[in-house]
Amino acid sequence: MQPVPLAVTTSSKADEAQREEARAVAARWGLPWMSRKPKEGIAPWLGIKAQALLVVGDDGVTLWAPGGSFGFHAGMAHLRRMRLAAGEPDTFVRVAELRAGDAVLDCTLGLAQDALVASLAVGPSGRVVGVEKSVALCAVAAEGLRHFERGPDSCAIEVHHADAHAYLKGLPSASFDVVFFDPMFGKPKKAQAAFEVLRLFAEHAPLTAQALEEARRVARRWVVVKGARYSDDLRKLGIAPEPTSRFSDVTWGRVAALAPVP
């Protein structure tokens, strides 16, 4: 019997409430649910019962694969949000010119780090929508955001499991103020094991000129793209990098909407 690509289970010390929550997670994402016995290990399941597992426990939903595991956490987004709330600049907010009430579409949600910053920048009157092609990453992010205490100064983040290009095609023109892409870097530097596991599930296809044009149609002001300083991905798309710190490994670029709306 072939292992299923992705399934949902609980921690080894789950109570009935956690088992019910795990069944609900499985139902929300259309994934099989696997009952786990007390103290039964995860490792023997991987590659046998499932290629990867979403584990519901006290710490939320964690994605387990043969190479390791990771879960949702605000991480650097928490620090960026604190600095933004204190009046300090944020590169994403500056390049995108985000302001209260804006609607932002994040086409590469990942673990929602930039979306969390955007949700504070646009405030409770704004809107942030995140699209993620990987069901595993989408589930981890969405389930994590369900329990994230965003506070009264941020809007909720809507999460959709979809291909970004296809999702853009289905949107009306000028329906978001800013459209954002953060494609997975093609030449990663040495990273922690958890990030290497994340890379296994992330979408690695580069941003195409066709998707960029759809984004320009959907945007009212800007399409913002994040890239790696050591790559020429932005220039291949005709996007000039914005000035950033020479110590940063990340570069940012933006292109105007096809029909900018004041």
Q: Determine how many CB atoms are found less than 10 A away from the CB of residue 236.
A: 12
pLDDT band at 74 (very low <50, low <70, confident <90, very high): confident
What is this structure's pTM? 0.91
Digit-coded pLDDT (tens) for 219-244 = 999 999 998 777 777 888 888 888 77
What does R_g of the chain's alpha carbons equal in angstroms? 19
- Are 101 and 229 in contact by the 8 Å Cβ rule? The answer is no
Q: Record the tokens describing residue 133, joined without a space.
A: 């092609």
Question: What is the signed CA dihedral for 108, 113, 118, 120, rounded to 10 degrees?
Answer: 160
Longest Cα pair distance anywhere in the chain, in angstroms? 59
pLDDT recorded at residue 194: 55
pLDDT recorded at residue 231: 73
pLDDT recorded at residue 189: 53
Q: For residue 165, give the nearest of 111, 205, 127 by alpha carbon.
A: 205
Instruction: Report percent pLDDT > 90 for the chain.
Output: 64
Q: Where do the structural domains in the chain lie, given as residue ranges?
A: 7-66, 76-256
Q: Record the tokens describing residue 16, joined without a space.
A: 């009935």
- Are 222 and 97 in contact by the 8 Å Cβ rule? The answer is yes
The mean pLDDT value for 25-51 works out to 91
pLDDT recorded at residue 141: 95
In this structure, which long-range contacts are made by residues 244-253, counting pairs with CB atoms below 8 Å and at least 24 apart in sequence? Answer: 244/91, 249/189, 250/91, 250/226, 251/226, 251/227, 252/91, 252/92, 252/95, 252/224, 252/225, 252/226, 252/227, 253/95, 253/224, 253/225, 253/227
Q: Is 11 helix (H, G, I), strand (E, B) or coil?
A: coil
CATH-assigned architecture of domain 76-256: 3-Layer(aba) Sandwich (3.40)
Compute the distance between CA of residue 201 and CA of residue 52 in angstroms, rounded to an integer.
Answer: 10
145 vs 38, which has greater pLDDT?
A: 145
pLDDT band at 202 (very low <50, low <70, confident <90, very high): confident
pLDDT at 3 over 80: yes
Which of the 8 DSSP states describes residue 228?
E
Q: Provide the pairing of β-strand 53-57 with 60-65.
A: antiparallel
Instruction: Report percent pLDDT > 70 for the chain.
Output: 93
